[in-house]
A and B are shown apart, each in its own frame.
Chain A
């Protein structure tokens, strides 16, 4: 009885959680004619991909924002992984003057809200003449984030010293130790950091909104927002756009959910 009640509530929660996703996908699969003429909740009959075809066609050109977003995320991901490994290794395994003060500075920057940095960064980027460029989108994030460095540092501290000493005795320099010892034993935490980074930057909105203008460097979130304000009642097209913006992350999430769930409980990321 108690079990049945628990399941009922859990399923109810799942329905409330999933309903908006399912409704948006089913609307994206309807023809505009069907959407206009039939009740909102009727299933698409027959399901059609015409909204997606139109979305990626000449008029809306969602190809460009999808490609731009993927490129931005890829470059940021590479930079964050490499430079976070560098910094985290220095903090975790090397002795140098100023280490604790520097680490404190890194952690303290976690207090800075995005909305506060956006205005000065806009001013600096405008002065440098790199507003509305690819580099404007990636530069603020590509050098590593204190959160990732903090996360990796904790993990690197746990690597057995013997392992690193053995590599040093074999004459390996820091680059080789990083690549051949640290990276291989740190795969789970690196996967976690990679997912955090992809999710954060695939979803980023405010900075791209501010620093880009026009179509050339528009990312998916900004394109979706623009599409909605421009074609307010064209919901079948708008829902096709939200599906495209959500789907890749959902797949990634379902594939790596163990890592994601673990990373959330470790870091409370975002």
Chain B
């Protein structure tokens, strides 16, 4: 008994020794920043000079500044274009990949390739592909289209690049989800005379619901934070500010306008927004999904 208690005490000491570094790292670089950003939201600071307490002035200024509200709207539109497109294309790719053809594994790997590259660097590559005079796409189609400089086309173009980057990743999840559906379910339906369309809508899609939900929620959260590719493709918010997404707005506000307090307010709003989305999804998740992780 005494030995076990002593062992438990030794376990506790060892555990805290082992946890020390990560506990320090996570407190200092993930938890503390939330407190500091809340404090900065109450200050006026230009990155170099002294900080002065201004109370809720920054909140009032951000509320009055239409650009933050606009950037939230732009981001929502961006998410609304990207998510359906990459989900549908990813599902189609997964269905093609799961027909059991030779070489499917190689295609699967190939499709994920863009996803492991730096979004910033891919953005630079695409900026050239979409360049008006010496770009590859216009050379290919033989027309001069201002993909990134036209206020109407800029946001869809940036969204298209984001979709291109993520389709393979989404397909990977759907592919795993499809493989988790037992063949016998489809065989039984076939025996009952269900056509391909019926089987897809009545069996495959409902059984994929957990995967679909996981993909949608994680991708919505990630897409809401888009910065690197947008920054590379359309710096300074794009033509007439049409690609001024939230993360970009916060970056420009803090590090170019040097209005750190206001940027801190915006960052807090984004944080709260994403926490709410995450909590809602966890509610859903714990209730209705069992996600098969085997591949």
Contacts and interface: CB of A to CB of B under 8 A. Distances in A.
Interface of A: 3, 6-7, 9-10, 13-14, 16-21, 23-24, 27, 35, 39-41, 79, 83-84, 86-87, 89-90, 94-97, 99, 102, 105-106, 109, 111-124, 126, 139-144, 146, 149, 174, 199, 202-206, 210, 220-221, 224-225, 228-229, 233, 235, 238-239, 241-242, 245-246, 249-250, 253-254, 257, 260-262, 264-266, 268, 270
A135 to B, nearest CB: 13
A203 B120 contact: yes
A251 to B, nearest CB: 11
B225 A20 contact: no
A23 B278 CA distance: 39
Nearest to B41: A119
Given A20-B126, A87-B18, A264-B112, 11 more contacts: A112-B30, A116-B267, A143-B21, A221-B121, A221-B228, A225-B124, A228-B124, A235-B131, A242-B124, A261-B109, A261-B172
Interface of B: 8, 11-12, 14-16, 18-19, 21-26, 29-37, 40, 45, 47-48, 93, 96-97, 99, 101, 103-104, 107-114, 116-122, 124-129, 131, 134-136, 139-140, 164, 167-169, 172-173, 176, 214, 218, 222, 225, 227-228, 231-232, 235, 246-247, 250-251, 254-255, 260, 263-264, 267-268, 270-271, 274-275, 278, 293, 295
A18 B110 contact: yes
A198 B42 CA distance: 37
Nearest to A18: B110
A222 B24 CA distance: 28
What are the nearest 9 A-B pairs in CB distance?
A: A143-B25, A120-B36, A203-B118, A120-B33, A40-B139, A96-B15, A86-B18, A144-B22, A87-B22
A245 B117 CA distance: 8
Nearest to A262: B295
Which applies to chain A's interface (DSSP): helix, strand, loop or mixed?
helix
B112 A260 contact: yes
A86 B259 CA distance: 40
B111 to A, nearest CB: 6
B112 to A, nearest CB: 7
Contact of B218 (A21, A83, A96, A268): A268
B96 A17 contact: no
Contacts, number: 272
10 contacts: A10-B97, A13-B96, A13-B111, A19-B136, A41-B139, A87-B19, A94-B12, A113-B247, A122-B255, A246-B118
B293 A116 contact: no
Contacts of A199: 116
A6 B98 CA distance: 10
**Which of A21, A120, A204: most chain B CB closer than 10 A?**
A120
A105 B26 contact: yes
Contacts of A111: 274-275, 278
Contacts of A89: 18
A265 B168 contact: no
B111 A17 contact: yes
A83 B295 CA distance: 28
B255 A116 contact: no
Contact of B127 (A14, A124, A228): A228
Contacts of A18: 110, 113
A116 B271 contact: yes
A20 B160 CA distance: 13
A6 B96 contact: yes
B127 to A, nearest CB: 7
Nearest to B129: A20
A123 B232 CA distance: 25
A41 B124 contact: no
